[in-house]
């Protein structure tokens, strides 16, 4: 059975995650958009995007944290994968991308998993943040480039953000 990892930031790491959520919230104008937060966990990003005027629904494998039984039932215009695709196999990511609706904006944020990001994570109280990683960052980025049209790409050293579209 696969173990799922849901980040619950502590006081110190909350600063880092707030930085991440701010970067995502600044990418586009979310006002009146239906946003699917895929793997949204405890809903920290959801709260940030609701304050920007978005209608946000979380789909998570942990049913108690999910707003939806099936993400395909939600009429989303934007889907966000915030540090979640790494917990899927490459084949699962490819299938997921094929299942996404056409002409949908996709925002993917993933850790670079460099030695410096691992040191930072440790200092922030996450002793083994990549323990359950299945797909490495380079492979995730490659799958995004193969399956989606990249609109914007930003490297923040400890993480990368890609804005893409499925057409």
Classify residue 130 by its DSSP letter: T
Judge contact between 41 and 18, C-beta under 8 A.
no
Q: Express each pLDDT in 43-83 by its tens digit.
A: 999 999 999 999 999 999 889 999 999 999 999 999 999 98
If you count them, how many residues does the chain have?
Answer: 167
Q: Express each pLDDT in 72-117 by its tens digit.
A: 999 999 999 998 998 899 999 999 999 998 899 999 988 776 676 6
Domains of the chain, start order: 13-166 (3.40.50.150)
Residue 6's pLDDT band (boundaries 50, 70, 90)?
low
pTM, to two decimals: 0.86
Q: Would you tell me how many other CB atoms lie within 10 Å of the CB of residue 26? A: 11
Classify residue 80 by its DSSP letter: E
Buried b (16+ CB within 10 A) or exposed e, 42-78: ebbbbebbeebebebbbbbeeeeebbbeebeebebbb
Type and span of the H or E element at 35: strand 34-38
Q: Express each pLDDT in 130-161 by its tens digit.
A: 667 788 888 999 999 999 999 999 988 778 99
Distance from C-alpha of 84 to C-alpha of 54, rounded to nearest angstrom: 21
**102, burial (CB in 10 Å: exposed 0-12, middle 13-18, buried 19+):** exposed
Distance from C-alpha of 162 to C-alpha of 83, rounded to nearest angstrom: 12
Q: Which two tokens stand for residue 62?
A: 């942990």
| pLDDT at 2 > cutoff 60 | no
Look at residue 72 in the predicted model and tell me its pLDDT: 93
Q: What average pLDDT does the segment 15-31 reach?
A: 91
- Hey, is 84 helix, strand or coil? coil
* pLDDT over 90 percentage in the chain: 59
Average pLDDT over the chain, rounded to whole?
86
């Amino acid at each position: 059975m696969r173990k799922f990892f849901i980040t619950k930031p502590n006081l110190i790491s909350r600063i880092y995650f707030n930085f991440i959520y701010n970067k995502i919230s600044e990418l586009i104008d979310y006002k009146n958009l239906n946003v699917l937060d895929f793997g949204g966990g405890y809903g920290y990003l959801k709260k940030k995007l609701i304050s920007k005027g978005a209608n946000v629904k979380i789909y998570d494998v942990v049913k108690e944290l999910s707003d939806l039984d099936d993400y395909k039932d939600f009429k989303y215009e934007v889907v966000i994968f915030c540090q979640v695709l790494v917990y899927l196999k490459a084949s699962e990511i490819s299938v997921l991308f094929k299942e996404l609706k056409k002409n949908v904006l996709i925002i993917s944020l993933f850790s670079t998993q460099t030695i410096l990001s691992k040191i930072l994570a440790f200092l922030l109280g996450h002793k083994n943040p990549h323990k359950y990683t299945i797909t490495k960052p380079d492979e995730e980025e490659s799958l995004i480039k193969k399956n989606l049209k990249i609109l914007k790409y930003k490297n923040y050293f400890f993480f990368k953000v890609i804005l893409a579209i499925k057409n």
